[in-house]
Amino acid sequence: MANTVVFRADSRGYADHGWLKSFHTFSFAGYHNPNRMHFGALRVFNDDFVAGGNGFGKHPHSNMEIISIPLEGTLAHEDSMGNKGVINPNEIQVMSAGTGIQHSEFNGSTTDPVKFLQIWLFPNQENVEPRYDQITLDPKNRVNRFQQIVSPNREDEGAWIHQDAWFHLADLENENSLTYQMKENGNGLFLFVLEGQVSVLGKDLQRRDAIGITDTTDISIHTQDNSCSLLLIEVPMY
């Protein structure tokens, strides 16, 4: 039987720095909850708002797989590998920090806010050569179905990372349903509701709620709204 843990939107850690408003599903920075350190290889899941003209100055990372998913606005990126540019909605950014990188993330607009998900995973191998990738997504490819956006395979759909993890987006319409089949035995699923309402394994989830699921081979997701947007992450649970 599947085991579940629900992460309600209003139970997340929260930091308000004026220019930055950030919700933390797992312990991060000033938010520490010993019962919410990670979900398997998923270490950080932050739901960020950055005001126009502001951002994170240059800072270091190592041995972490970092995925940024803009939801609204524009995110400007620069790093020690020489990459410089902007990331928009329907694009994602992936970095393997490996032996060490420095980077900055700023709002690409001086006036409008940017909203994005900042996600960190423990890698399946340490001290790899740092790398950067950015891809464009076609939103039509996730209407009433899963669109794979991250995988561990370089030849597969989406960006690739140094972890046996798969990310999918889905936009469901007209009270639809979807079934997800696990890629690897023993992995867990982390489902985050971007917009709308869904039911999973008897649990009703609202906007920005999440659920962690283990000990299952597949799940069915049922929408309870005319439209719903989801992010589904399959990760190793070691």
Instruction: To the nearest 10°, report the CA torsion of 138, 193, 5, 181.
Output: -30
Name residues whose C-beta falls within 8 Å of residue 82's C-beta, 6 or more positions apart in sequence: none
Predicted pLDDT of residue 75 = 97
CA of 96: how far to CAs of 65, 90, 160, in Å?
A: 5, 20, 10
pLDDT in tens, 145-155: 999 999 999 99
Helix (H, G, I), strand (E, B) or coil at 140: helix
Predicted pLDDT of residue 226 = 84
225 pLDDT more than 90:
no
Q: What's the one-letter identity of residue 110? A: T
28 pLDDT more than 90:
yes
pLDDT band at 175, cuts 50/70/90? confident
Backbone φ and ψ of 104, nearest 5°: -130, 150
Q: What's the one-letter identity of residue 88? A: N
Mean pLDDT of the 3-12 span: 98
30 pLDDT more than 90:
yes
125-156 burial by CB neighbour count: b if 16+ within 10 A, else e? eeeeebbbbbbebeeeebeeebbbbbbbeeee
pLDDT in tens, 189-209: 999 999 999 999 999 999 999
Predicted pLDDT of residue 140 = 98
CA nearest to 139, candidates 176, 174, 169: 169
pTM of the model as a whole:
0.97
CA nearest to 39, candidates 212, 208, 161, 186: 212
Mean pLDDT of the 38-45 span: 98
Backbone φ and ψ of 88, nearest 5°: -110, 165
pLDDT band at 121, cuts 50/70/90? very high
Task: Write down all domains in the chain, each with its CATH number in brackets.
Answer: 12-136 (2.60.120.10), 139-235 (2.60.120.10)
pLDDT above 70 as % of the chain: 100
CA nearest to 73, candidates 99, 105, 31, 44: 105
Predicted pLDDT of residue 238 = 82
Name residues whose C-beta falls within 8 Å of residue 108's C-beta, 6 or more positions apart in sequence: 73, 74, 75, 76, 86, 114
Predicted pLDDT of residue 149 = 98
Backbone φ and ψ of 10, nearest 5°: -85, 0
What is the average pLDDT value for the chain, to the nearest integer? Answer: 97
Mean pLDDT of the 104-120 span: 97
